[in-house]
Chain A
Amino acid sequence: MNMEDDEGHDGFAAEKTVTPALLALHPFSKFVVVSVGSQLRVFNLLEKCAVDSEDINSQSCHVDAIKTITFSKDGGLFASAGDDKHVKLWDTDTWRCLRTVVATKKISASSFSSDGKWLLYADKFGVVYAISTEYVKDPLAGPADPGQPVSLLAHCCSIITSLKCSADGRYIITADRDFKIRISIFPKNPLMGAHEIEGFCLGHTSFVSCVAVVNNNLTSQFLVSGGGDGTVRLWEVETATLLDTVDVYEKITIANSDVDNTAVQLPAITCIAVSNNASLVAVGLESLDGVIILGLDIKSKRLRFLQKFLLEDHYCPTSIQFDRNGWLWLVAGAAQRTEAGEEKATSWVKVVSISSGDAILLESIDPASLPGGTLLLEALDGTDSDVKKALALADAANMAVKEQLSKKKYTNEHRELRKRLRNDKKLQKGM
C-alpha cells in the first residue's frame, strides 16, 4: 500500500462532481443568496430585483463549486468559498468583491466571528484559518502581514463539515467527519491561533453533517446538530453536554411502515435550521421529499419530534434557513460538472410558513406573496425549466456528500486481498 497514495484520501470516496445548492439569508432579510455550482445568485428583497454586480457575474467569480456561503451577523459582509480554493469576501452594499484569498486546499465551511472582524474558513483537511475583514491590502505591508490567513486550529485530518461562531463571540464550533463537534475558545488575538479547547460534543455515531447555533438571550449557549446517524441532537456549548437526542429516522419509519427498515446505512440529516425565536428546528433528511420540524424548548432543554411535511415529489432540500418573520426558506438543487467541463446547475427555491399552535401547520407561500414574486424565483432558480432533473440532481448531491463523509467499509476479504497485494509483502515472499 503506497502511503503517498493515501495522502489526503484516507477512506474518502472518489469525488463526485455533484454539489448541493446552498441558500443564505441576510440577517435583516435584505438579500437572499443561492449558490449553485460556481454561480452566485443574489436577490435584493427590499428593492425586489436581482443583484447584477460586475463581480458576481464576471468570469472570474468562482470557477468551481461553491461549498459554503455565509453572511456576517450585521449583514454588512458576505463570504463564499469552495472547490476553487478561493475565499471571497463581499461588501453587501455594493456586492463588490473586497478580497479574494487563495487557500491551499478546498474549503468546506466558513463563518464570520460574531463581531464581524474575522472570517473563519475550514478546509477539507480539517484546518481552520482566520483572515481579518478589516485589513485592506497595503502594497507597503511588511512580512508580518496581518492580512494573511492564520491557522487557528485543526481537527486531525478530518473534513470539517460545519463551522460556526457562537453569538456571544466566546466560542468556535467545528464539526467533522469523525463524529465530533469541537468547542474551542475564541482567542483574544486570533493571529496567535486558537489553542484552548472548551470541550467536545461526543454522541453522534456517524459523521456530523450540520450544526446550527441557537439564538437566545440567555448566558448559556446552545447548539443543534444533525448527523449521518439520522439523529438531531441538542447540546449545551460551555459544558459540551448532550441534552437531548431525536432519532428522526426512527420516528418517521414508525409512522410509515412501508419504508424498508433493513437499510444498512441510515439516511443522513442533510441540513438544519433554527427559528429566530428558538422554538423550532427544521431539518432535511436524505431522500425525504420534504422537511421535518422539531420543537425546541430551551428552558427544559428538550428537543422533540413534531412532524414530517412532504412538499413535492422528489423535492429534497439541500439547504434551509429561517428568516426573521418565521418563514422557512428552502432550496433543492445541485450542480454537476460534466466530463467536458461544462456545468449544469439547477435549483428550486420554496418558502413555507410554519405556525405552531395546538397543531403544527406548514403552508407554502405563494410566489406572488414573496418580495419580488416571480422575479425572485427566476433570479434564484435560473432559467432551466427541467424541474424534475433539478430535483433528481439534488438528491444525488446529498448522496454524494454523504458518500464523501462516510468511512469506506471494506469487507474482511477485501482487506486481506489488499494486504496480500502490499509491496512489502511481495518482498517478503522473495526472501
Chain B
Amino acid sequence: MASGSKKGQHPRKRFYRARAHSNPLSDSQFPVPVSPAHMDWSDHFPAFFKSNITAAPVKKENLNGTCSEWSKAKGVEGDSKCSSASIIDVSVRKAEGLEICKKIQAFGDEEPKVHFADIGCGFGGLLVKLSPMFPNTLMVGMELRDKVSEYVKDRIIALRKENPGQFQNISIIRTNAMKYLQNYFQKGQLQKMFFLFPDPHFKERNHRRRIISIALLAEYAHVMALGGILYTVTDVEELGEWMKSCLEAHPLFEEVPLKKQEADPVVGLLKCATEEGQKVERNGGKTFYSVYCRVLASSAGA
C-alpha cells in the first residue's frame, strides 16, 4: 500500500488517491475486535494509557484470525468487563423522568474511553479541528476506504510529531461502521456522533446503504449515552430531508432546540471543518443540518 509520506512528514493527498465510493455491504478484509472489551485502545492513544503498560501484551486473534498492530487484546476477560458495564447501564435506565445529561463514567478500572466518533471521517478534517477543543476527550474516526484511512493515520502521526503533547486524543480506525460499530463501543459509550456529508446513494435501491436509516439509528442510539448528540450535515437536499425524517421518526432521538444548537461550538464546525465542507462552500452550495439528542423513549407512543 503506497505510503506517500516519510515517517512523520505530512502526507500528500495525491499519493492516497482512492475511489470516492466504497461498497459498505461487501465483506472487506480488516481485523475487527470480537467485542468492545477485546478492543485495545492503548495503541491509538498512547499518551492516555501510559500507566497501563504491563508485561508483554498478549497477542490475541481478531475475528478474521489476523493480528493488527492497532488492536492487541490486553488479556482482560471479556465477560467481567461486560458485566460491570451493564450495572452502570441499569442505574441510568432507572433514572427515567429526570433531566438526564450524564456523562457515562469509565467502568471498572477508570480506563479512558472514546467518547466522540466521526463516522466516515474522510481525510480527518473534523477530528483535527475538534482535538484542541476537547483536549481530554478521546475521539476516533471510522473510515471504510483503506487509502483514505491510511492518509489520516499518517496525518495524525505527523501532527503529533510537530506539536508535542497535542493531537494525542484523536485516532483513526479503518472499518465498516455500519456492520461493526457494536464491536468497538459499549452501550452508552459515545457522547457525540458525527455523520458529515455521507454518501447520498441516490438510487432508491441503494437507499439501504445510507448511513442514516431508521434501522441503523437503533444501533447508534444503543452506543450513545443519554443526552449524547448526533450531528449530520449534507449538501444534498433530498438526503438532508431523509436524514431529518429518519431522526424525527425514531423514538430515541429528539431535535436539539435551535438556541442550544447555536450555543454549541461544534455545530459551527460542521460546515467548514472538513475538506468536503470546504468544497461545498467554495462552490457556494447550501448545507442541510440535523442535530439530535439521544433521549429515552417517551411512555406516550411506542
A421 at interface (Cβ–Cβ under 8 A)?
no
| A residues near B215, Cβ cutoff 8 Å | 127, 151, 153-154, 156
A180 at interface (Cβ–Cβ under 8 A)?
yes
| B residues near A110, Cβ cutoff 8 Å | none
B131 at interface (Cβ–Cβ under 8 A)?
no
| B residues near A424, Cβ cutoff 8 Å | 19
Q: Please tell me if the beta carbons of A195 and B182 are within 8 angstroms of each other in the complex.
A: no
Q: How far is the CA of A157 from the CA of B23 in the complex (A)?
A: 12
Q: Please tell me if the beta carbons of A202 and B27 are within 8 angstroms of each other in the complex.
A: no
Q: How far is the CA of A31 from the CA of B34 in the complex (A)?
A: 41
A199 at interface (Cβ–Cβ under 8 A)?
yes
Nearest-neighbour CB distance to chain B for A5, whole angstroms, equals 10
Of A195, A200, A202, A410, the residue contacting B217 (CB under 8 A) is A195
A189 at interface (Cβ–Cβ under 8 A)?
yes
A interface bracket (residues with beta carbon within 8 Å of B): 35 or more
A205 at interface (Cβ–Cβ under 8 A)?
yes
| B residues near A3, Cβ cutoff 8 Å | 21, 23
A101 at interface (Cβ–Cβ under 8 A)?
no
Given contacts A196-B218, A203-B34, A241-B86, contact A415 B29 (CB under 8 A): yes
Nearest-neighbour CB distance to chain B for A153, whole angstroms, equals 6
Cβ-closest chain A residue relative to B299: A188
11-61 of chain B: CB within 8 A of chain A: 19, 21, 23, 25-27, 29, 34-36, 61
Q: Please tell me if the beta carbons of B23 and A241 are within 8 angstroms of each other in the complex.
A: no
Nearest-neighbour CB distance to chain A for B161, whole angstroms, equals 31
Q: Please tell me if the beta carbons of A243 and B82 are within 8 angstroms of each other in the complex.
A: no
B103 at interface (Cβ–Cβ under 8 A)?
no
Of B27, B34, B79, B86, the residue contacting A408 (CB under 8 A) is B27
| A residues near B208, Cβ cutoff 8 Å | 125, 157
A350 at interface (Cβ–Cβ under 8 A)?
no
Q: How far is the CA of A319 from the CA of B23 in the complex (A)?
A: 35
Q: How far is the CA of A107 from the CA of B297 in the complex (A)?
A: 30
B156 at interface (Cβ–Cβ under 8 A)?
no
Q: Please tell me if the beta carbons of B23 and A242 are within 8 angstroms of each other in the complex.
A: no
Q: How far is the CA of A189 from the CA of B302 in the complex (A)?
A: 6
A239 at interface (Cβ–Cβ under 8 A)?
yes
**Contact indicator per residue, chain A 178-189, by CB within 8 Å of chain B (1) or not (0):** 111000100111
| A residues near B83, Cβ cutoff 8 Å | 239, 241
200-223 of chain A: CB within 8 A of chain B: 200, 202-203, 205
Given contacts A192-B301, A202-B182, A202-B183, contact A407 B27 (CB under 8 A): yes
Q: Please tell me if the beta carbons of A200 and B25 are within 8 angstroms of each other in the complex.
A: no
Q: How far is the CA of A196 from the CA of B252 in the complex (A)?
A: 8
Q: Please tell me if the beta carbons of A200 and B302 are within 8 angstroms of each other in the complex.
A: no
Cβ-closest chain B residue relative to A127: B215
Nearest-neighbour CB distance to chain B for A149, whole angstroms, equals 15
A7 at interface (Cβ–Cβ under 8 A)?
yes
Interface of A is mostly: loop
Q: Please tell me if the beta carbons of A10 and B27 are within 8 angstroms of each other in the complex.
A: yes
Nearest-neighbour CB distance to chain B for A402, whole angstroms, equals 15
Q: Please tell me if the beta carbons of B302 and A188 are within 8 angstroms of each other in the complex.
A: yes
| B residues near A125, Cβ cutoff 8 Å | 208
| B residues near A407, Cβ cutoff 8 Å | 27
| B residues near A295, Cβ cutoff 8 Å | none
Q: How far is the CA of A193 from the CA of B252 in the complex (A)?
A: 12
| B residues near A382, Cβ cutoff 8 Å | none
| B residues near A184, Cβ cutoff 8 Å | 218
Q: How far is the CA of A196 from the CA of B222 in the complex (A)?
A: 7
Q: How far is the CA of A1 from the CA of B28 in the complex (A)?
A: 14
Q: How far is the CA of A374 from the CA of B36 in the complex (A)?
A: 53
Q: Please tell me if the beta carbons of B63 and A179 are within 8 angstroms of each other in the complex.
A: yes
| A residues near B251, Cβ cutoff 8 Å | 192, 195-196
Q: How far is the CA of A238 from the CA of B93 in the complex (A)?
A: 13
220-247 of chain A: CB within 8 A of chain B: 238-243
Of B19, B63, B302, the residue contacting A195 (CB under 8 A) is B302
| A residues near B190, Cβ cutoff 8 Å | none
Given contacts A156-B216, A202-B182, A203-B78, contact A11 B27 (CB under 8 A): yes
B214 at interface (Cβ–Cβ under 8 A)?
yes
252-302 of chain B: CB within 8 A of chain A: 252, 297, 301-302
Of A179, A195, A239, the residue contacting B214 (CB under 8 A) is A195
Q: Please tell me if the beta carbons of B79 and A243 are within 8 angstroms of each other in the complex.
A: yes
Nearest-neighbour CB distance to chain A for B67, whole angstroms, equals 14
146-202 of chain B: CB within 8 A of chain A: 178-180, 182-183, 187
| B residues near A187, Cβ cutoff 8 Å | 302
| A residues near B61, Cβ cutoff 8 Å | 205
B205 at interface (Cβ–Cβ under 8 A)?
yes
A347 at interface (Cβ–Cβ under 8 A)?
no
A6 at interface (Cβ–Cβ under 8 A)?
yes
**Contact indicator per residue, chain A 1-44, by CB within 8 Å of chain B (1) or not (0):** 10100110011000000000000000000000000000000000
A-B contact pairs, 12 of them (CB 8 A): A125-B208, A154-B216, A156-B178, A157-B178, A192-B302, A194-B218, A196-B297, A202-B35, A202-B183, A238-B86, A241-B83, A408-B27
Q: Which residues of B line the A interface, CB within 8 A?
A: 19, 21, 23, 25-27, 29, 34-36, 61, 63, 78-79, 82-83, 86, 178-180, 182-183, 187, 205, 208, 213-219, 221-222, 250-252, 297, 301-302
Q: Which residues of A line the B interface, CB within 8 A?
A: 1, 3, 6-7, 10-11, 125, 127, 151, 153-154, 156-158, 178-180, 184, 187-189, 192-197, 199-200, 202-203, 205, 238-243, 407-408, 410, 415, 424
- Known pairs A194-B218, A195-B218; list 15 more (Cβ under 8 Å): A6-B23, A127-B215, A154-B213, A154-B215, A192-B251, A192-B301, A195-B297, A196-B252, A196-B297, A197-B222, A199-B86, A202-B36, A241-B79, A407-B27, A408-B27
